[in-house]
């Protein structure tokens, strides 16, 4: 008898970044700009709250949906930043924003339902849709639109089976954002065509030269939007595995059911730390955002100096330069760069086929690190 393995899982191709990981492992003197998490440690007062929770013996389960205090803080946060009013029944606490994405698909989709996924974007949307028996329909975002979703692109892909649109902004890997003026026509279409939205707002706090706008804040959208977000990027809390979902109570209730059977509850000490983060972490976020912004400007300037075209991103901590002029695939470029200059980047294709011709460069690194990396990149380009 064959080993019991699920066909859909077997057929899913593994993440495109794995092989870089294998090459860079054990490479002496390599620099990586390939990381998708902040370089800052979690602010001390937040860590201290986690430690205190452990000391007090807060080592048991919480209710499935998470601590009431934390849910109330999340509601207050949504009110404060997006002027959208939620009640604790609309919220529950997850193991990272990624769990919220998974649960959202599982709770909303029936076999054959279509989900629109703009790409390049985070790697997990497509697998989550497939495993929830849905059909992933890719919308290829274009550099000429600054990787913002265009209403015509959306209309083109809508069929009578379309149920959900994934809105991944601020975007990993491009750093693109959607401003209110970009969201308005999208929202209008969603209302008209009765499409629901999963808005992945994990990078919301990392928006530069302006504030993040959630599509849930637009007319008619709160009742058809599930927001997946969390503490990882805003408060540099990736290892705490703490996120949340906010949305219509009818959907959240079903997501919570899956969460209850699969997970029980998010880590208790992390939840206590999360309360502290939302209550007293605003200054930390502002400080980190300012630092990220300086690095963003530094990289864009460095690209300009070396003649590497790159659209101006205003979010997350990634830049997405175009390497089409060198006539190599992203994958070949990234691998050669790693072998010759020991500089690791992630090829745009790791985030969808339309990432071909681009590289994702993370600036979750110190300025000194970025400077050394840019010297290597410039030298490499000079040789091509």
Partner 1 sequence: MKLRQEILNVLEKNARTPMQELAVLLNATEEAVEKEVQAMEEEGIICGYHTIINREAANDDKVSALIEVRVTPQRGMGFDSIAERIYKFPEVDSVYLMSGAYDLMVILTCKNMQEVANFVSMKLSTLDSVLSTATHFIMKRYKDHGTVLAKRYEDTRELISP
Nearer to partner 1, 122 or 235 (CB): 122
Q: Is 28 in the site for partner 1 (CB under 8 A)?
A: no
Q: Is 344 in the site for partner 1 (CB under 8 A)?
A: yes
Nearer to partner 1, 145 or 301 (CB): 301
CB 346 within 8 A of CB 115: no
| Encoded tokens for 84 | 């959208």
- Per CB under 8 A, which of residues 169..208 are in contact with partner 1? 172
- Per CB under 8 A, which of residues 144..173 are in contact with partner 1? 172
Pick the binder of partner 1 from 37, 69, 253, 331 (CB under 8 A): 37
Q: Is 283 in the site for partner 1 (CB under 8 A)?
A: no
Pick the binder of partner 1 from 2, 25, 83, 261 (CB under 8 A): 25
Q: Is 244 in the site for partner 1 (CB under 8 A)?
A: no
Pick the binder of partner 1 from 56, 79, 297, 379 (CB under 8 A): 297
Pick the binder of partner 1 from 36, 170, 281, 352 (CB under 8 A): 36
Count Cβ atoms within 10 A of the Cβ of residue 82 and give its class: 0-12 exposed, 13-18 middle, 19 or more buried.
Answer: buried
> What are residue 93's phi and psi, to 5 degrees?
-95, 135
Using CA atoms, how far apart are residues 43 and 277, in angstroms rounded to an integer?
A: 9
Asked if the bond preceding 173 is cis, omega within 30° of 0, the reply is: yes
Of 215, 217, 176, nearest to 195 by C-alpha is 215
Using CA atoms, how far apart are residues 197 and 115, in angstroms rounded to an integer?
A: 9
Nearer to partner 1, 79 or 301 (CB): 301
Q: Is 21 in the site for partner 1 (CB under 8 A)?
A: yes
CB 65 within 8 A of CB 92: yes
Q: Is 335 in the site for partner 1 (CB under 8 A)?
A: no
CB-based contacts of 310, cutoff 8 Å, min separation 6: 300, 303, 319, 320, 321, 322
Q: Is 32 in the site for partner 1 (CB under 8 A)?
A: yes
Nearer to partner 1, 15 or 63 (CB): 15
Using CA atoms, how far apart are residues 56 and 58, in angstroms rounded to an integer?
A: 6
Pick the binder of partner 1 from 20, 125, 292, 363 (CB under 8 A): 20
CB 128 within 8 A of CB 97: no
Pick the binder of partner 1 from 290, 339, 340, 353 (CB under 8 A): 290
Nearer to partner 1, 17 or 337 (CB): 17
Q: Is 72 in the site for partner 1 (CB under 8 A)?
A: no
Q: Is 294 in the site for partner 1 (CB under 8 A)?
A: yes
Q: Where are the beta strands (DSSP E) in 185-332?
A: 196-200, 225-230, 243-246, 318-319
Separation in Å, CA 340 to CA 80, 142, 335, 377, 381: 49, 30, 9, 10, 11
Query: CB 123 → partner 1: shortest distance, Å?
Result: 5
Using CA atoms, how far apart are residues 18 and 284, in angstroms rounded to an integer?
A: 32
Residue ranges in contact with partner 1 by CB under 8 A? 15, 17, 20-21, 24-25, 30, 32, 34-37, 39, 122-124, 172, 290, 294, 297-298, 301, 344, 346, 350, 366-367
């Amino acid at each position: 008898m064959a080993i019991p393995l699920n066909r859909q899982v077997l057929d899913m191709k593994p993440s495109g970044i794995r092989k870089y990981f294998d090459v860079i492992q054990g490479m002496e003197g390599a620099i990586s700009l390939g990381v998708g998490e902040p370089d800052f440690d979690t602010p001390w007062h937040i860590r201290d709250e986690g430690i205190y929770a452990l000391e007090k013996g807060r080592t048991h389960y919480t209710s499935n949906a998470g601590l009431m205090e934390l849910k109330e803080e999340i509601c207050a946060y949504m009110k404060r930043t997006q002027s959208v009013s939620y009640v604790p029944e609309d919220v529950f606490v997850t193991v990272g924003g990624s769990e919220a994405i998974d649960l959202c698909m599982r709770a909303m989709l029936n076999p054959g339902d279509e989900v629109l996924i703009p790409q390049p974007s985070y790697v997990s949307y497509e697998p989550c849709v497939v495993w929830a028996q849905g059909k992933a329909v890719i919308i290829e975002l274009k550099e000429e639109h600054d990787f913002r979703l265009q209403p015509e692109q959306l209309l083109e892909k809508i069929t009578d089976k379309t149920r959900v649109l994934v809105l991944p902004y601020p975007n990993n890997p491009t750093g693109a954002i959607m401003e209110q003026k970009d969201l308005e026509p999208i929202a209008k279409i969603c209302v008209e065509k009765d499409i629901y939205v999963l808005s992945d707002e994990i990078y919301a706090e990392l928006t530069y030269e302006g504030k993040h706008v959630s599509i849930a804040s637009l007319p008619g959208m709160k009742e058809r939007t599930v927001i997946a977000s969390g503490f990882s990027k805003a408060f540099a809390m990736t290892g705490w595995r703490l996120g949340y979902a906010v949305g219509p109570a009818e959907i959240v209730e079903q997501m919570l059911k899956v969460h209850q059977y699969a997970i029980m509850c998010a880590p208790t000490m992390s939840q206590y730390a999360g309360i502290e983060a939302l209550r007293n972490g605003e200054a930390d976020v502002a400080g980190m955002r300012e630092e990220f912004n300086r690095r963003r400007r530094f990289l864009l300037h460095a690209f300009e100096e070396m003649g590497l075209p790159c659209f101006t991103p205003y979010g997350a901590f990634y830049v997405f330069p175009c390497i089409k002029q060198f006539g190599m695939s992203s994958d070949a470029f990234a691998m050669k760069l790693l072998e010759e200059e020991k500089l690791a980047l992630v090829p745009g294709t790791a985030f969808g086929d339309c990432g071909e011709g681009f590289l994702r460069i993370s600036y979750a690194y110190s300025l000194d690190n970025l400077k050394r990396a840019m010297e290597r990149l410039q030298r490499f380009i000079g040789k091509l």
